Chain A
Amino acid sequence: MSLAVQRDVAPGAAGAAGLPIRLAGVSKSFGETEVLRRFDLHIPAGQFVAVVGRSGGGKSTLLRLVSGLDQPSGGRVMIGERAVTSLDPAVRLLFQEARLVPWQRVVENVGIARGENWRERALQALRDVGLDGRGDEWPSVLSGGQRQRVALARALVSRPNILLLDEPFGALDALTRIEMHRLLDGIWRERGFTTVLITHDVAEAVALADRVIVLREGRVALDLPVDLEHPRAELADPRAAELQKQILAAV
């Protein structure tokens, strides 16, 4: 599997389901502090991009701009052919916390937006993330990993073209995190949505992404293709270790 950043559809991914993301000259400031200045980035459809960087480097801001939660102070954010001006149903965001609604059962959480035969679709999404038969439970009885699985099912139930992940595995224990990596990797390869993962875990970035971007003080400090075949066995590959070293140097 080769990687071509220049083309608009990354090979390997199923393609049709993903949408490209383009940021052109985007600036964003909060009060006096400018988090992003004239920022350019192009993510082809179906690509899996990991964004790494220190706290306050603008990672979360980037994600909130793409999701339409915040509007840029200058420049444009494009999804496919559309400019992002508000929340877009084609984009789904997975938060750091699972943010399950405690008074809605698991299946109701997955189908929180309701819509046509939402229950069946929600149950299918639960099966996809390996939570078959847990639909009628309250979120409070689930473990941390299970809660993030439910959140993932909730994001995927509407078949989004773009999935944004804001350090969703940061609070999980190491074993659960590896399980979640396998799950996400499998679903991404099957569905082919464009994915942007924010993480401070360099190993996680290399284990999942086609391309790792290091953000420093609102700029791209490193844009590194990860040309390893999926699924990847973590730590086993010396090439992965080499890439991690490169990224860490840039952070």
Chain B
Amino acid sequence: MTVEALSPARRAERTRPSLARFGRALAPWALPILILVVWEIAARAGLVNARLLPAPSTIASAFWRSLQDGSLIANTWASTKRALIGLLIGGGLGFLGGLATGLWRPAETLLDSTVQMIRNIPHLALIPLVILWFGIGETAKIFLVAIGVFFPLYINTFHGVRTVDRQLVEMAEVYGLDRRARLSRIILPGALPSILVGLRYALGLMWLTLIVAETISATSGLGYMTMNAREFLQTDVVILGILVYALLGKLADWATKAIERRALSWHPAYQIARENKP
């Protein structure tokens, strides 16, 4: 057999999979791009009511406009600030509560069933009550976000602490680690994967709670911006608001994933992932 005889077949072998790979890489984009193009054409041709569904280009120009007059940044910042303060308070309390009930049996007996009971209430239903309590100021919204993020962090911290390998804790006792060292070197790192799962849930609930709270009562923030735009039938701004929400949600997701990668670098799953990356 000669090299020439082999090579065409081989070349075909090599190009076919790479073409397939190219096609596969393109596939995820096919549908969104197609939709965008059809949407733009339909909107321009007047096939869809621009008031219900403005063209992508209209939304882009709404984006540019609100960016220039500063309203987009101001509203996004107002929402982000509420979200983060609420996350800090509610998440911090949930973490500490989960730690307390996880480490200390009497705290579990006393608190856990109460928390489980309250958890059944859809926390959005508390909004009217919270508005009666706190008025429509910042406190109400921060309170609601804090309640929303409390439960996932509480439950997952509790679960994480409880499922730390007992054998490791015993080893640490035998090797003379005091309570503080056991907490910082064994229990907290062992509970971390579960706590991070809780954090991801909490971030999702954080945005969701905030949107509803801002829609119902606010004079600033993204929820206010979109609800206001709806009343003036500025559909482009409504869709813009939705897109910003998506972006913020995605950002929160990326942030937790980055934390996970850093904090769990000891985990075999992450080591494999790193090695596979060229």
**Do A and B come into direct contact in the complex, CB within 8 Å?**
yes
Interfacial residues, chain A to chain B (CB-CB below 8 A): 67, 69, 87, 89, 92-93, 95, 97, 99, 101-105, 112-114, 138-141, 154
Chain B, 177-191, contact with A by CB distance < 8 Å: what is the 0/1 string? 100010001100110
* B266 nearest CB neighbor, chain A only: A103
Sample (17) of A-B pairs whose CB atoms are under 8 Å apart: A67-B174, A69-B174, A87-B173, A87-B176, A92-B174, A99-B168, A101-B185, A103-B264, A104-B266, A112-B172, A112-B175, A113-B175, A113-B181, A114-B181, A138-B266, A138-B271, A139-B266
Task: With both chains docked as a complex, state the minimum distance between the C-beta of B87 and any C-beta of chain A, in angstroms.
Answer: 25
Q: In the complex, which residues of chain A have a beta carbon less than 8 angstroms from the beta carbon of B266? A: 102-105, 138-140
B271 and A95 contacting across the interface, CB-CB below 8 Å: no
Cross-chain contact A101 with B176 (CB below 8 angstroms): no
Is A95 a contact partner of B175 (Cβ separation < 8 A)? Answer: no
Which A residues touch B190, using CB under 8 A? 103
Q: Contact between B176 and A89 (Cβ–Cβ < 8 Å)?
A: yes
B17 within 8 Å of A by Cβ?
no
One of A93, A102, A113 near B177 (C-beta < 8 A): A113
Residue ID in chain A nearest B178 by CB atoms: A113
CB distance from B250 to the nearest CB of A (A): 28
**Chain A nearest CB, measured from B276 CB (Å):** 15
A141 to B168, CA, bound (A): 18
Q: Is the CB of B271 within 8 A of A112?
A: no
From residue B212, how far is it (CB to closest CB) to chain A in Å?
A: 38
Please count how many residues in chain B sit with their CB below 8 Å of the partner chain's CB atoms: 21
Residues B159-215 near A (CB distance < 8 A): 167-168, 170-177, 181, 185-186, 189-190, 192
CA distance A38 to B268 in the complex (A): 48
**Contact among A92, A101, A113 with B168 in the assembled complex (CB-CB below 8 Å):** A101
For the complex, is B267 an interface residue (Cβ under 8 Å from A)?
yes
Give the Cβ gap from B56 to chain A, nearest Cβ, in Å.
47
Q: How far is the CA of A99 from the CA of B175 in the complex (A)?
A: 12
B266 to chain A, nearest CB (A): 4
Would A87 and B267 count as touching, CB distance under 8 A? Answer: no
A69, A101, A103, A114: the one within 8 Å of B170 (CB): A69
When distances are taken between beta carbons in the complex, the residues of chain A under 8 Å from B173 are 69, 87
Residues of chain A lying within 8 A (CB to CB) of residue B271: 138, 140-141
Question: In whole angstroms, how far apart are the Cα atoms of A67 and B268 in the complex?
Answer: 33
- In B12-44, the 8 Å CB interface with A consists of none
Given the complex, which residues of B lie within 8 Å of A113, measured CB to CB? 175-177, 181
In the complex the two chains form, what is the Cα distance from A4 to B174 in whole Å? 31
User: Considering residues B168, B173, B177, which has the most beta carbons from chain A within 10 angstroms of its beta carbon?
Assistant: B168
Minimal Cβ-Cβ distance residue in B for A102: B266
CB pair B177–A101 under 8 Å, yes or no, is no
**Complex-state Cα separation, A154 to B264, whole angstroms:** 23
Within the assembled complex, what's the spacing in Å between the Cα atoms of A245 and B26? 72
Given known contacts A103-B189, A141-B271, is B174 in contact with A93 (CB within 8 Å)? yes
Q: Mark B93-137, 1 if CB is under 8 A from A, else 0.
A: 000000000000000000000000000000000000000000000
Alpha-carbon gap, A12 to B264, bound state (A):
48
A188 to B185, CA, bound (A): 30
For B186, give its contact among A93, A95, A101, A138 (CB under 8 Å): A101
CB under 8 Å from chain A, chain B span 50-67: none
State whether A97 and B167 are in contact (beta carbons under 8 Å apart), knowing that A102-B266, A103-B189 are contacts in the complex: yes
Pair B268/A140 contact, Cβ less than 8 Å = yes
Alpha-carbon separation in the docked complex, A69 to B174 (Å): 7
- In whole angstroms, how far apart are the Cα atoms of A92 and B264 in the complex? 30
Given known contacts A97-B167, A99-B167, A113-B176, what 13 new A-B pairs fall within 8 Å (CB)?
A87-B174, A93-B174, A99-B171, A102-B267, A103-B190, A103-B266, A103-B267, A104-B185, A113-B177, A114-B181, A138-B271, A140-B271, A154-B175
Cβ–Cβ < 8 Å partners of A138 in chain B: 266, 271
Cα A101 to Cα B177 in complex, Å, equals 13
Q: How far is the CA of A154 from the CA of B186 in the complex (A)?
A: 16
